[in-house]
Amino acid sequence: MSDFDLVIRNARAVTASDSFDCDIGIRAGRIAQLGLDLAAGKREIDAAGRTVTPGGVDAHCHLDQPMPPPTRTADDFDTGTRSAACGGTTTVIPFAAQQKGQSLRAAVEDYRARAAGKAHIDYAFHLIVSDPTPTVLQEELPALIREGFTSFKIYMTYDDMKLDDGQILDVLDVARQHGALAMVHAENADCIEWLTRRLEAAGRTAPRFHAHARPMLVEREATHRAIALAELVDVPILIVHVSGREAVEQIRWARAHGLNIFAETCPQYLFLTAEDLGIDDSYKGAKCVCSPPPRDRANQQVIWDGLNDGLFTVFSSDHAPFKFDAPEGKKPNGEEVSFRHIPNGIPGLETRMALLWSEGVLAGRMTPHRFVELTATGPAKAYGLHPRKGTIAIGADADLVIWDEREFVLRNEQLHHEVDYTPYEGMRLKAWPGITLSRGEVVWDGQFHARPGEGQLLACGKPSLLPQRRAD
């Protein structure tokens, strides 16, 4: 009788720190042995000549998140995790979002029900705290953190979500007391509203003016303020979807002063610019409306530098899936609508890994170790899932990607989300995940192998991020 359910032979395994040639023996969904010439498995996959990385951990995506009508996210836990798996991601962390007036516990229970029986891969939840009442702060949030919901997002913009500074301090204080990690969407809501009104009054309502209403200054100011609030409370925070130089400078300043400020960025800030929102008033630009907006090529380079030098801990998709040609998506009132009413967000769960492997690693911009750190190990550590997730190690879940290196042109029709476009249509890529394994089961090998309900809700531990060095 074979010891292993599956052996992956002749892998070129890559972790955040090492590369090594080995066979990977898998038993009961976990990596049981790494070594040369392992005994035969019940099944075998020959990975000769191919790189094997940990499956991706996409720590920022929006699946079946309740939205103000008529808006609806195109992907739920079925289609979203299908798309993730086909793109080499084996763990997703979407958001259980509290609506104002709603109990946080009710938001979590509602979200649990939305996921149940649907997910093809494992998942955890971040919380979104939009109404920090005394009950939320003193009872619900501490209890949920104890139950394994150890991270939550707070917004400094969006009317239905935003917190004022006093509320942010209260929420950060709970994070500090209970060892949770707060993720901050840093954009100044009042500046955005002021600019939006002026643009609308001047008749500048096309999608491209979304970027004019959210210049980098509004992100810089909010990033600075979030850092100051975290310093006051003395708690680490993670700034999400950082778009360019001015926010990066704030984070570098904070770190140089010994503050534990962590950061996430996303593919849109490497591969899109504000011009993708339109160089004329075409409505097509709505496809790339997201917040913060993509900037310019110089800022793309700033983000590449931050990915390489350790500024960023997490590379997420911020998959916010809205159909383009649909009233529940990017066209709430046809094309006759001010940019302020266009749902914010773009799809990217399935393309995140291949974009960074292809344009980062294979294009010589990034080491494979850094790729693994950013797409798997870093997010797993930040959100308390490491070492079960995010690495290739004995005892870890057998969540793996076996890469195929081949050139092709990316088309939305190849993807498995429910969105009717990809912002990266027509891009020439050099690789795609050939096989994705979720806890030792093949979920993607050029065909998607559905296993609805097999994905488990993970209880997250406390974040295990290294503190930044204190300045002298």
Contacts to ligand URP by CB under 6 A: 62, 185, 241, 290-291, 318, 320, 344-345
**Structural contact between residues 264 and 303, judged by C-beta atoms closer than 8 angstroms:** no
- CA-closest candidate to residue 357, choices 87, 155, 175: 87
State which amino acid sits at residue 461.
Answer: G
CB of 465 to Zn ion, least distance (A): 20
CB of 187 to ligand URP, least distance (A): 9
- Binding span for Zn ion by CB under 5 A among 99-107, 112-120, 178-186, 405-413: 178-186
- CA-closest candidate to residue 213, choices 222, 226, 223, 204: 204
CB-count exposure of residue 381 (10 Å: 0-12, 13-18, 19+): buried
11 interacts with, out of Zn ion, ligand URP, none, CB within 5 to 8 A per kind: none
Q: Can you tell me the distance from the alpha carbon of 164 to that of 241, in angstroms, rounded to the nearest whole number?
A: 20
CB of 155 to ligand URP, least distance (A): 7
Residues numbered 179 to 208 that lie near Zn ion (CB under 5 A) are 185
Residue whose CB is less far from ligand URP, 160 or 336: 160
Report CA Rg, the chain: 21
Q: Does 318 bind Zn ion (CB under 5 A)?
A: yes
Residue whose CB is less far from ligand URP, 60 or 255: 60
Residue whose CB is less far from Zn ion, 73 or 90: 73
**Structural contact between residues 265 and 303, judged by C-beta atoms closer than 8 angstroms:** yes
Residue whose CB is less far from ligand URP, 227 or 277: 277
CB of 214 to ligand URP, least distance (A): 10
Residue whose CB is less far from ligand URP, 185 or 352: 185
* Torsions phi, psi for 309 (to 5 deg): -95, 10
Tokens of 394: 């004995």
Q: What is the DSSP string of 74-92?
A: S--HHHHHHHHHHTTEEEE
344 interacts with, out of ligand URP, Zn ion, none, CB within 5 to 8 A per kind: ligand URP
**Structural contact between residues 457 and 124, judged by C-beta atoms closer than 8 angstroms:** yes
- Binding span for Zn ion by CB under 5 A among 11-19, 46-54, 318-326, 454-462: 318-326
Residue whose CB is less far from ligand URP, 83 or 438: 83
Binding residues (CB under 5 A) for Zn ion: these are 185, 318
